[in-house]
Structures are given as C-alpha cells and as structure tokens.
Amino acid sequence: MALDWTRAAARANEIAANWQREAGPGGAVVLFDRDGVREAFAGGLASIDYQLPFTPQTPNRFASISKHVLAIALLRAGVPLDAPLGHWLTELPAPLAAVELCRALDMTGGLPDMMEAFWQQGVPFTATLSADEVFALARRFPSLSAEPGTEMAYSNTGWRLGQRILERVTGRSYSDIVTELSGELGLAFRLPYDAAEIVPCLATGYWRDGAAWRRGHYGFHFSASGGIAGSAADLAGWASALLAGRGPLAGMLERLTIPRHFADGSASVYRLGLVCSRLGETEIVGHGGSLTGYRNHFLMAPAHGAGVVVLTNREEEALWPAMTVLAALLGQELPAPADAPTGLFVTEKGPFWAEFTRDSISFMGGYERLVADGAGGLRSLPAYLDIRLRQEGADCLSGLIGGVQRSLRRVPADTALDDRLIGQWRDPHFGTQIEIRADGTALMPWPSGGMLSRLTPLPNGRALADLLHGPWRSRPCLWLDGAGGLRVAGHRARILQMKRVG
C-alpha cells in the first residue's frame, strides 16, 4: 500500500494552522518513517507570556510517552522482568513486593497509583514531593487495588519503582541513562527531576479556565513514568529509530510489543509502555501522555514503517488529531463515531461506575473516546484502557473493561443518599478522615480544613464525591463494603478502608 504523505501533511498542517489562528498555546505535528522525519508542522505559542512560537524543535514534556524508554533501558541492562519487585526493593510491603516487575509495567499488577492515592488522602498533585517522599507512601501501602493479573488499571507506580530498580542495578541515575541513550541517536532527551529544574526553551504548559489560559503546575517528582522532556522532532527521530531497529533500539520494538496476558490467558492491548491497537486493517502501536497543561500522543504503523507525533502544551486531547493524520497517511477510514447511551451507570456491587457521553466514557475517572466496533457494539480506540461494550436495552451495557467483564446499569434519577453512609469515617492505617453529611455533602481530606464535595448518590450504599483541582477532576466512589466499613476507590487507587468513628 502506498502511503499518502501529501494528504497526511495537509491534515497535519490544518491542525497546526488552527493553533496558529487561536494565538494561544500550540504544538507540533511531525510525520516520520524508518529513515527519519518526513514532514513537520507547528503552530501557536510555546510561551504566551513571552509570545514565543512553538516549533518542531521546541522542548516539551512527553508525559507518559516516556514510559517505554524505561522499558528499553531495563531490557538493555538485562534486568529480569519476571522477578518480583521485592527481589530488589526489600523495603516494600509484602503485597507489592510479590508483584512481578513485568506486571508492574504492563498495568496488570494491581499497584495503586501514587498520585491518586495521595489525592484521596488530601494531598493534591500540585504538592511538591521528592522521589523519596513518593516512595515512602509506597512503603506504607497496606494492599493492592486488585489481584495481580486480573485487571488492567492504569498506574504510574510500577514505572516509578522500575526506575528505582534500574538505578540500584546499574548504580547510575536514570537521568544520565536517558541522556546517554538518546544521545547515541543524536537526540536530546532530558529527564528533569522536578518542575523547578530548568530545561532550556521548554514550552510552558497551559489549561483553559473558562475563556482564559492558565499555566499548569505539577508538583510531584518527575520520574520514568512521565518525566522526559524533548522536542517533537526528537521524539519522531526516536520513533523512526524504533521502527528501523537502529542503533541502541535494535530489536526493541518487537520486545516491547510482545503480547502480554491476564492470569486467565486472555491478551491485553497494553504492553511495555506501548498500546497495541488497530486502525481499520492496520495494526498500530503508540502511547499518549498527559501532565498539567501538556497533552501528547504518538502512533506508529510498523508494517508500513511510518507514524506521527503530536506534542502540545495545551490541555486538550491529542489522540484523535494523531489518529486523523495517521488515517490520512494510510488511506484508512476513521472508525465510525459511537452513539452511546448518555448518563451515569454503575455495576450492581462494588465501586465500579461509568459516565457516558455519545462518544466517550469516563470509567471511574479514566477517560476514553468511544467508537463503533462495526458489529453493533462500542469500543475504545484506546488511548490507555481497552473497552469493548454492547448495549442491552436503553439502560444496560455489558462487556470487557480493562480485561474484566462488567455489567453497567443506569443510575435511577431518583436515587437518594443511603443513610448508612452518613457519619464520620477514618482509615486507621493512614489516619485519613471523611465526614459524610445528611445534606448530601462530604467533607473530604484536603490540606487546611478539608474540601466540601456535593455527593452523587448511587444505589446499594454508594456515592460519588467530586473534587476539582486546576484542570483535573477526581471522583472517588465511597461505598459500604458489607462488613461495616467504608471504602474509597478510583480507577487507579482502591486501598482506603475506613471505619466508623463514634
């Protein structure tokens, strides 16, 4: 099949031109093949403050696109991925120590995500925390969010721990390893360890607050889970070398995308820092990234030796723009848009809920765009989480979400707050407290006195809290566990176990 570079370039130029017309934050769209960069377009501003243009050479934060780089470094160092985390990190509590490194990296390890675990305890993502302070929380985790191998639930924790393992094995800082590895290909990746570290010419991240743009801020230590900075041109050069198996990346794409399986033998689309999916008849590989004010995605079609990078410094979805460019390049039709039933749905038991718009789903707070699957059902593209659902009447959907069979039913409009939820609750392990009030609000953990949240009642002793901090929203499910306790759960962390106070 001949690749249509002209059509793809026209679509990429259209995306960049829209950013340019807005005169706000922007980004770059870069097309590449096995030989390197083919076309590059950019628009908008890298800095609104100083009116600096965004170019294909502008350094940006890769966010979670960074993950597969660590996987490559671990493979090159000969670290055995089937060994348990406790083989190297003896300080970890027993549930975490027993998780195999490969499951920690392919998101089936049940590891609670650090940021969400902190947020549920009242520590926002803007809090400045060092690597050791973040690791100290992992050492206190009393349990996993799920049994290893049973579910794919996105978590950065395994990648943070993977970095710590690599540094102990090699005796080197991961920042130096990233600089050296990219430098072998003539590229300039950097791993700053926090937002205060200067990266020359780095694009400022922005998010929209109503009609105005605001600077994004992320306080946690930057790690292998999402900390690398570099330009769109450099990322495209890296992806080109990955496709070609050039230099230090020889054979790495094949090793990164070896099928990963759940404990029941079924396959997961999430591999070692890369997501394997399809666009029409073409197998594609890629990953997205999101940090406050930055949204990115890169996609590759290995059989055709080509792909696209979209890096932006604006808090807007990057997957769909990348998909439209790749579809133009491959001459493939984009998936038909979904027509999902809108509203809030929940499983019969447990903390599992989903909110649908016509073309998207938020599953326990994890967003995915939905498309028609061509057989009467719905599926995610996916960016991170593989979702395959079929509608069963107006008020029920069922299917696989992250490898687990779920049946979701519409929440009745007249659902009232269950009186059993009302009261003071405290987690004895962490000391975290929640007060659920009869007026349908909850005083949630937060620095300096807590944050009041309006609750959305769910059937069978459950309710959703709603916390907004900057551009990011957290909606933990508060649910009675049947043993007299209150559990707090999100897609990425489900470890708070509260007892009634008084």
3-class state of residue 277 by DSSP: strand
355 and 285 belong to one structural domain? no
Element (H, E) at 397: strand 396-401
Q: Is residue 136 part of a domain?
A: no
User: Looking at 388, 410, 432, which one is the last position of a domain?
Assistant: 410
Number of domains in the chain: 3
The per-residue pLDDT for 302 is 98
The per-residue pLDDT for 384 is 84
- Low-confidence stretches of the chain (pLDDT beneath 70): none
Query: For residues 102 and 116, is the Cβ–Cβ distance under 8 A?
Result: no
- Burial class of residue 193, CB neighbours in 10 A (0-12, 13-18, 19+): middle
271 and 385 belong to one structural domain? no
pTM for the whole structure: 0.97
280 and 404 belong to one structural domain? no
What's the CATH number where 424 sits? 2.40.128.50
194 and 277 belong to one structural domain? yes
Structural domain including 494 reads: 419-501
Q: Is residue 239 part of a domain?
A: yes
313 and 253 belong to one structural domain? yes
197 and 52 belong to one structural domain? yes
201 and 288 belong to one structural domain? yes
The per-residue pLDDT for 72 is 98
Name 254's Cβ contacts closer than 8 Å, sequence gap at least 6: none
Q: Is residue 61 part of a domain?
A: yes
3-class state of residue 252 by DSSP: helix
3-class state of residue 62 by DSSP: coil
User: Looking at 381, 410, 439, which one is the last position of a domain?
Assistant: 410
Q: Is residue 107 part of a domain?
A: no
Torsion angle, CA of 130/154/248/279, rounded to 10 degrees? -150
184 and 54 belong to one structural domain? yes
The per-residue pLDDT for 448 is 76
Q: Is residue 237 part of a domain?
A: yes
The per-residue pLDDT for 330 is 97
245 and 184 belong to one structural domain? yes
Tokens 């349908």, residue? 440
Tokens 């570079």, residue? 5
The per-residue pLDDT for 393 is 87
Structure-block tokens of residue 218: 């992320």
404 and 481 belong to one structural domain? no
Q: Is residue 110 part of a domain?
A: no
63 and 207 belong to one structural domain? yes
Measured CA to CA in angstroms, residue 282 lies from 26, 275, 418 at distances of 29, 14, 49
The per-residue pLDDT for 155 is 97
Measured CA to CA in angstroms, residue 474 lies from 173, 339, 345, 365, 367 at distances of 33, 25, 17, 7, 12
What's the CATH number where 322 sits? 3.40.710.10
Q: What's the rounded Cα separation, in Å, for the pair 356 and 263?
A: 29
The per-residue pLDDT for 181 is 98
Strands of 205-320, DSSP E? 206-209, 212-215, 229-231, 260-261, 267-268, 275-279, 282-291, 294-301, 306-312
Query: For residues 86 and 97, is the Cβ–Cβ distance under 8 A?
Result: yes
295 and 223 belong to one structural domain? yes
User: Looking at 372, 387, 410, which one is the last position of a domain?
Assistant: 410
Query: For residues 310 and 27, is the Cβ–Cβ distance under 8 A?
Result: yes
Q: Is residue 114 part of a domain?
A: no
Q: Is residue 153 part of a domain?
A: no
